[in-house]
Amino acid sequence: MPKRKKPEENEIKIAPTVEQPITETIEQNYMPYVMTVIISRAIPEIDGFKPSHRKLLYTMYKMGLMTGARTKSSNVVGQTMRLNPHGDMAIYETLVRLTRANESLLHPFIDSKGSFGKQYSRDMAFSAPRYTEVKLDPFCAEIFGGIDKNAVDFVPNYDNTTEEPVLLPTSFPNILVSPNLGIAVGMASNICSFNLAEICDGTIALLRNPNTSVDKLLDLVKAPDFPGGGSLIYDRAALKTIYETGRGSVRVRARWSYDKAANCIDIVQIPYTTTIEAIMKRLAELAKENKLREVTDFRDEIDLSGFKLTLDLRRGTDPDALMARLFRQTALEDEFPCNFNVLIDGTPRQIGVRDILNEWIRFRIGCVSRTLKYDLERKKEKLHLLLGLGKILLDIDKAIKIVRETEKESDVVPNLMAGFGIDEPQAEYIAEIRLRHLNREYILERIREIDGLQKEIASLTDEIGDELKIRSRIAAELAEIRKKYGKPRRTLIISASDAELPEPEETVDNYSVTILLTREGYFKKLTAASLRGNDEQKLKEGDVIINEEEAENKDELLVFTSAAQVYKAKIADFDTTKASAFGDFLAVKLGFDEGERPIAMKAVSEYGDDKHFIFIFENGKGVRVPVSAYETKTNRRRLTGAFSDASPVVAVIYEDEEKDLLLISNANKAILIKSSLISVKTTRTAAGIQLFTLKKGDTLRSAVTVGENCRYANPQKYRKAKVPAAGTLLSEADIVESQLGLK
């Protein structure tokens, strides 16, 4: 029997491979991570806080920072790590956003001292935590009320050394007052802020009538209100969608003023979604492209008085026209995308403003009910003790005698229980009364409390069992909060009609250019200077020029493609080039679809019904379409259905006056017709009329205009007065010319 080979000392043993379906791998390994990110990190709950915010604020509350002096931020960060196991810088960045100095919130939760950066600046960094000081703002009294009276549930922290609240018992709908952005896995949340006074009014209306309509709510909660101010362009239909579904967007515009004496524009508020650095970068790009000639200088003038971006203007500049253009070209006007994803009972839900307020009311009713029950239990306990005290009223001397004659301290409570027929808590309470309080006056005062406690207990019991009374209590709290903390709107509401911008004046330089299009799809814009002394155009091997024409730099360029589409662009958007360069590749520049190629182009200065595009197709048909059919009110870059795709197009010819067209088939037959014989169709996709009568299997090969420099010997012999017409056989010389022209 052969001996078994002994394993080598350092031999690596490979565990057997276990096959596992990808669905099980995702479910076991990836899904727990996904749910942790959604529930425990990125999406806010109905109290308006993410776990990181809640842990930080609760730590500061337990540190006693509701009152007293500020403490170093590093102290707060260190203490918060008992609840939040993330790094100290992550905690500090959370703290920064909650401070008054950072200006991220309409109602900051942290009173701060030191440099905390600004929400509207990307580069204005906050100081290190050892330099800054913080304490809780008095406003935090509204988020912690009842937390020590069992208003919310508590759970153990990550190492079971202490407890933390699951939610904070906010006495106002903080979820809609504090803006919140969270990106989870597979979902995100982006909640804008609303004015506290308006939210209180809307919530009170829902407390009194749960069936309050969205339209009524819109009258009370008019629109979002951003900490950075700005002007909100009011669109009631869009806001109604947000209030109903939680999805949509609002447009916010910067606020500015014109200083006539200094001839400058001062921008004092910008949209919440952008920063001063992003705006200045875009202004620099426009200046580099020579599209900001009205501005001689722009600079950041942020100081202790607040935000300011100043633009110095050239003499004679119209500030309104300039700002109208900048609103279009920069983030001075921007959209806030609303995505109201909120955790409701641990489940992410996308809901509108009204549903969020109703969910908060349900949550707040639970908090208030628990607080009332806590107060009720405490009052019942006190009443129970006072009732025991009342039993010694008639014989105080007996109680003193029992205590004095008891030999052991541990027997005092049992002897009092036996002597007066009271239970242990009552006896403990009596035994702890100081000697100086063993007088009739003190005891009678305590006894009088019994009537008051019994009335309060009855009132609390009645209120706990009546939801309407709890709703009234919450409404009264909201009215008090509105009165105490309500502020005027920061974001100005302007109507859509007032926000209409004048059409910006054309600022591009206008000059004559020569434009070229090659068969491979390269486009060149050349000036007279670049053509001077260099007539030879550099092309890729095998490429040829298919279009060449004179145009103006301000003209619009139409590019027709093989996919029956037309792309529109400004000639000014293309850089001038030299004859020795290949030029711009249109497929990339204009964003062609895969496999799409250009077949013709035309520079258009104006769109009119008296000019046409003539489309000639392989099946012998043709159509004239007015140039006005390609005019659009908006700056659309692509029009589908530019012409009929029923048959491949052979030629696209621009007609500004009547032309002679020579059509040649693959059978070397030709007809010469007037362009006026081709019918005009206002529909771009019209298939046209038959022009050339073709035999079965024949197709049109080419279509060209015939003018003074015609390369054909005698084109007039192919003249036809009517269409459709049968072709005349080409002469030998014209056949050769025709074949050369196709190369």
The catalytic residue among 30, 33, 131, 511 is 131
- The secondary element (H helix, E strand) that includes residue 492 is strand 492-495
Q: How many CA atoms lie within 13 A of 282 on its CB side?
A: 14
**Number of Cβ atoms within 10 Å of the Cβ of 590:** 22
131 is catalytic: yes
State how far the Cα of 62 lies from the Cα of 693, in Å rounded to an integer.
94
Question: Could you tell me if 545 and 517 are in contact, meaning their C-beta atoms sit under 8 angstroms apart?
Answer: yes
Q: Using only C-alpha atoms, what is the Rg of the chain?
A: 41
Closest CA relative to residue 146, chosen from 474, 453, 425, 469:
474
The answer to whether the CB of 659 falls within 8 A of the CB of 705 is yes
Task: Assess contact for 550 and 544: CB atoms under 8 A.
Answer: no
Find out whether 116 and 129 touch, Cβ atoms under 8 Å: no
Alpha-carbon distance values, 493 to 250, 253, 336, 497, 499 (Å): 11, 10, 15, 12, 10
Spell out the alpha helix ranges (H) of 391-439.
Answer: 396-405, 412-420, 424-431
- Cα 452-454-460 angle, rounded to 5 deg: 100
Four-CA torsion 570, 572, 576, 579, nearest 10 degrees: 40
How far apart are alpha carbons 212 and 219 in whole angstroms?
11
Amino acid at site 449: E
- Residue 32: partners with Cβ closer than 8 Å, 6 or more residues away: none
User: How many C-beta neighbours within 10 Å does residue 15 have?
Assistant: 5
Q: How far is residue 565 from each of residues 301, 461, 550, measured CA to CA in Å?
A: 48, 75, 23
Q: Which residues have a catalytic role annotated?
A: 131
